[in-house]
Structures are given as C-alpha cells and as structure tokens.
Structure 1
Amino acid sequence: MAKPSYFYGIHAIEALLTHRPLDALSLFVQQGRESDSHVQDIISAAQANGVSVQPTQKDKLTQLCGSPQHQGVVLHARPLSFTNESLLDTLVANERCLLLVLDQITDAHNFGACLRTAVAMGVDAVVCPKHHAASLTPTVAKVSVGAAEMMPVISVTNLARTLSHIKQAGVFVFGTALNADAKPIHTVDMTGKSALIMGSEGEGMRRLTAESCDELVYIPMSGNDHGHLQSLNVSVATGMALYEVNRQRTSTAGQA
C-alpha cells in the first residue's frame, strides 16, 4: 500500500474531507489562520471525522507538503487512488457518455488543470495510460482545486486496446491533431457517446492512439501563423475543446 501523502490547499483538502474523510489522518493548521472562515470549516470537518488538528508554524507546513502554496492547511492522508477500469463498462452504456483521454500528459500542473476543466464541462471520466502519465499526487489535487476527488480517473495498461473496447460499445473516438484530414472541432457532431483524446505537447498522440481514432479534429485559431494546436498549453487546449463539446451538448439538450 502506498504511503500517506501531505495534501495542501483549502479546496483540495475540503474536497478530500467531503469525498473520502476516512482517508484523512492528521490536519496541520498554520498558527494564526484558525479564524479564517474556510480554515474553520476545514477544522470542523476534520474534527467531525475524528481527525487530529495540530497548530503548526508556516515554515513547517511548507516543509511537510513541499510547497509554499498550502494556504495555511496541510492534511496527512492516504493517497488518492485511480478508479477501476471496470467502471468504463457502466459509463459507456450511457447514450451521452463523454470521456476525456489524456495520452502521455506527464506534467502534474497540466494534469490537474485538465481534471478541473473535465469536472466543469460534464466529463464522465478521465482515461490515461498507466505509464508515461502523471500520478494523482497532492500537487495534482491542489491544481485541480478539489476536482481530483470528484472525477473518476481510470489508468489503463494498454490505451489502444481500451479505445478499441469502448468503440465496440458505440463510443465515437475523436483525436486532436494537425493532420491534413483533421476537421475544425466545431464542424463535427460530438453530442453522442464520445471520447476526446488530448496528446502531449509537442509530440501529440502516439501512433497507435491516433490510429484508434474515428475522427481527427483541431481547434481553429485566428491568423495564418497560429494554426497549431501545439502552440497552446495542453490544459488550455483541453478547456477549449471541452467547451465546444459542452456547447454542442447543451444546445442539443435545450432542443429536446
């Protein structure tokens, strides 16, 4: 079993205490911050779940979590786990299933930002490969502003095989790329069972991942010199792409 980790940041800790309070072990609170309303709520939630609360110096909190961005609270807790792959079978039975697939996104900040957007844009689950991908670290939890606790993240051994499996269940797989045959994302119908694949910055999707796509799409940009998806940070590109998917789905739902 993985060792407990030190989670930090108000929203990340609030989400952890809400969604898996039994995994919380000890709460460390910066001395002098106890009167802050958000911190008070965290202390109350921790105490309600039998978690010890310890006043701590600011520098010690930074030392515990390895970041000065702790906002006065650090929680010693069991690490966040990936969701079992079997959940996919349940999700793809939904006719409006939406999956976000992150192919080789290794930066924790980008990963966390993608999870935050995924929650906001109605994604059912995030799928990523087991290797060459960011883990569910406290940094990811902090950057995601608690979304890592809300969004199922499914780690798979063989991404191409998983994509083949969900395609057999009727999921249409869209991949973001700059190929000549890629279509502007707003011109394709993404209102049904869909999976959107975002590749790593620079390299994009791996060859086997790209070959698993039913359709390739790109984000149109203004000007002749900016038509490159890679010029965008991957988390920004993910936000733009998922906004378009959500726009289509919201529009369709309103017409139903």
Structure 2
Amino acid sequence: MPGNSQRRGAGANRTGKNAGKGTTAGSGGRVRRGLRGRGPTPKAEDRPYHKAYKDKQQREARQPKQSSGPRTPKGVGPEWVIGRNAVLEALHAGLPVRASYVAEGAEHDSRLREILSFTADHSMPMLQITRGELDRLTGGTNHQGVAIRMPEYEYAEVDDLIAAGVESPAGGLVVALDKVTDPRNLGAIIRSAAAFGAQGVLIPSRRSASMTAAAWKTSAGAAARIPVAMASNLNQSLGKLKKAGYTVVGLAGEADADIAAAPGLDGPLVLVIGSEGEGLARLTRETCDTLASIPITSQVESLNASVAASIALYEVSRVRGTGSGE
C-alpha cells in the first residue's frame, strides 16, 4: 500500500547520512514533492486541521437553520465534487472552485496528474490531507483520493432581475421554475435562458433543484453569465414581478392557448415552467395571467421541463425579435 511504502521510505531517510533532510512519516512522501509549487495555499478556514476550520464548523453549527420566513437565503452549503473523473470533468467545465484536496499517498495515474497540472496552471489552491480527513470531509464516499469544494452560490434577489429588465430594449424576461427538482434540468434551463436573452432565472427555496455541481456543469458556463434568484415564496415573488409590469405566462399542457399566440410576449414577461410529472401547482396557476401550451402529437403526453422551456423561449424570442445569439 502507498502508505506503507511512505513509512518505509521515511525510516530509511532517518538512518542514512541525510537523516532529517528527507520526507518524514505523514508528510506525503513523493506526493508532497509532486505538489510543491502547485498554486496558492488555501485559506486557513479551508484546511481541515487548522483551528480556523474548526472554528468555522462550530459557528455554522450554532447558526439557526433557515426558516420559511420572507427572507431569501443568499447561499446554500458548499458543494463537493468527488472522484477523479468527476473532478476532471468539473474543472474542464469551468465550475467555480474554492479549494482542491488530494489524499496523502494517492496513486498517481494520468487523471490525477492532469488534475494537478490543471489546478497549477489555473492557480487553484491544492491541499494535501490524510485519507482519513478526506473521508470525513466527503462523508465516507469513494473519493479516489481527490475532491474539490465549490463555494457557496450567491443567489440574486427578485429586485435584481427587475432592475436588469429595465435596461433590456425588449422588456425584461425572467424564467421561473415551479417544482423542477432535477439539477440537470435547472442547468439546461439556465443555458437556454441565457441563449434567448433572459435577465435571470427564479427558483423557490423549497421543493426545487438548487445550484449544485450538476446544475453548474449542465449549464455549460451559462450559470456564470446569468443570475439565479431564490424566493422563499414563489407566488409572492411572481406577484412582485406583476406589480413591476410583468405579464406572467405559465406553461400547462391542457391550456387552449398556443404559447406563440399568448398575450404579453412582446413586453416584460415571466415564463413559468412546472415539473414534467406534476406541472404547475394550483396557487402558481392562479397567480399566472395566462396559461399556454406547446402543441405536440398525441403520441407523447408531455415534454421534459428543460425541453419545454427551450421551445417556449424560442417562441418568445421570435415574437420579440431578439434572436438567440448564444
């Protein structure tokens, strides 16, 4: 095992004439030499063995859990990406990285070498810790000796989306999601929203996908270009948008009106997308000014939420004459 070979090597160094100058047990051996100069040192609060890290964990444990009150949470807990393939894909997909971790004695294969090279080339912090510490941080999952920690996502406010819409020549365009729980759907919708000129995406804080690593990856970089707002009460936020002059159009498969002919597409608009299985909640339907559908054949019951969003956004952009300039 790599750990055993490290201990043997450390003992050999102590008995030779260069005793005290080689690597010592627990220092990481060859891995440490390979990591030397690999980007900036992570912050103290990101080093599991540092007092600042333990202090931060205690502070977070003492903080009250987010209530269901009117205040919108600014962020969620940090997201972990684990495993060599997943970490490598996340790095190449441009996911934001707060810190990278590699276990002492981790076997160097082509994937790990590429990860180390990528983090060094992009000045990303890389911290070597014990395998046991990495086990604890990642909840005992099969991390294969490497993991990256994403920063907390900073959600926008509904007011931010309204302010951005004021500057849009065609009027503001917001995509709101109701009970869309798959983060990959969220990421794909964010990508389509950016492609068709929306000013932002609005999601509820409960019973909804959030900005996880999967959502970031599926957005193909669009999550860095378009804000996502989180509402503690979706219908109140929709009401706020209506007061700001927005027309709220919800997609519903049984609606008689075709989305292409729905009123209000050429002005400030909120397009509300429900889940594929349940559609829009009753209160959300009642909040909408109009319900519209996408015509499909009888051979298919419904469309995936991200597919429906893309089609509807295309129709909106066609009416508004904004095009899709990705």
TM range (shorter): 0.7 to 0.9
8 A Cα contact 2:178 2:204, kept in partner: yes
The answer as to 2:204 corresponding to 1:129 is: yes
Q: Answer whether contact 2:119 2:126 (CA < 8 A) is retained.
A: no
Whether 2:257 is the aligned partner of 1:186: answer no
Question: What is the percent sequence identity of the aligned residues?
Answer: 32
Equivalent in the alignment of 1:232: 303
Q: How many Å separate the matches in 2 of 1:236 and 1:252?
A: 18
Unpaired segments ≥5 residues, structure 2: 1-59, 61-75, 129-133
More strand by share: 1
| 1:44 matches 2:118 | no
Aligned residue type for 1:52: M
Asked if the contact 2:206–2:232 (Cα under 8 Å) also holds between the matched residues in 1, the reply is: yes
Deviations 1:126-169 (A, max 9, x none): 11111111121112222222333332111111111111111111
* 1:110 Cα deviation after fit: 1.6
Assess if the C-alpha contact under 8 Å between 2:80 and 2:138 holds in 1. Answer: yes
1:202 aligns with 2:277: yes
Answering whether residue 150 of structure 2 is matched by residue 77 of structure 1, we say: yes
Residue of structure 1 in register with 2:63 after alignment: none
- SS of corresponding position for 2:166: coil
Q: Counterparts of 1:85 and 1:170 in 2: how far apart (Å)?
A: 13
Superposed CA offset, 1:155-213 (max 9, x none): 11111111111111111111101345x31111235122111000112211111111111
Query: What one-letter code is carried by the residue in structure 1 that aligns with 2:278?
Result: E
Find the aligned partners of 2:275 and 2:87 in 1 and give their Cα distance. Answer: 27
CA distance, structure 1, for counterparts of residue 228 and residue 199 of structure 2: 9
After superposition, residues 137-216 of structure 1 pair within 5 angstroms as 137-180=212-255, 182-188=256-262, 189-216=264-291
Partner Cα distance (2:232, 2:225) in 1? 22
Please list the CA deviations of residues 54-95 of structure 1 after superposition, one character each: whole Å capped at 9, or x if unmatched. 7xxxxx9xx969799xxxx95323232322343134134345
Counterpart selection for 1:86 from 154, 159, 177: 159
The letter of the residue matching 2:307 is V
Determine if contact 1:12/1:145 at 8 Å carries over to the other structure. Answer: no
| 3-state DSSP of counterpart to 1:202 | coil
Which residue does the alignment assign to 1:57?
Answer: none
The answer (yes or no) to whether the contact 1:183–1:217 under 8 Å persists in 2 is: yes
Question: Which structure is richer in relative contact order (CA contacts within 8 A, separation 6 or more)?
Answer: 1
Does the CA-based 8 Å contact 1:101-1:127 persist in structure 2? Answer: yes
Q: Which residue of 2 aligns with 1:248?
A: 319
Select the residue among 8, 11, 15 that pairs with 2:94: 15
SS in 2 for 1:197: strand
Counterpart of 1:15 in 2: which secondary structure?
A: coil
For the residue of structure 1 that corresponds to 2:110, the secondary structure is coil
RMSD, aligned CA: 3.7
Structure 1 pair 26–201 and aligned structure 2 pair: CA distance change class (3 A): same
Query: Paired residue for 2:78?
Result: 4
Residues 30-54 of structure 1: per-residue CA shift (max 9 Å, x gap): 7424887x99666422x1x5x2277
Equivalenced residues, count: 235
Where does structure 1 lack aligned partners over 5 or more consecutive residues?
A: 55-59
Q: Which residue of 2 aligns with 1:26?
A: 100
Question: Structure 2 length normalisation: TM-score?
Answer: 0.60
Secondary structure at 1:101 match in 2: strand
Q: Name which of structure 1's ranges 185-194 and 130-139 shifts more when overlaid on structure 2.
A: 185-194
Decide whether the 8 Å contact of 1:92 with 1:166 is kept in 2: no
Classify 1:89/1:98 alpha carbon distance in 2 versus 1 (closer, same or farther; 3 Å).
closer
Q: Secondary structure at the match of 1:140?
A: helix
The 3 A distance-change label for structure 1 pair 10 and 122 is farther
Q: 1:128 and 1:90 mapped to 2: Cα distance?
A: 18
Give distance in 1, aligned partners of 2:295 and 2:126: 52
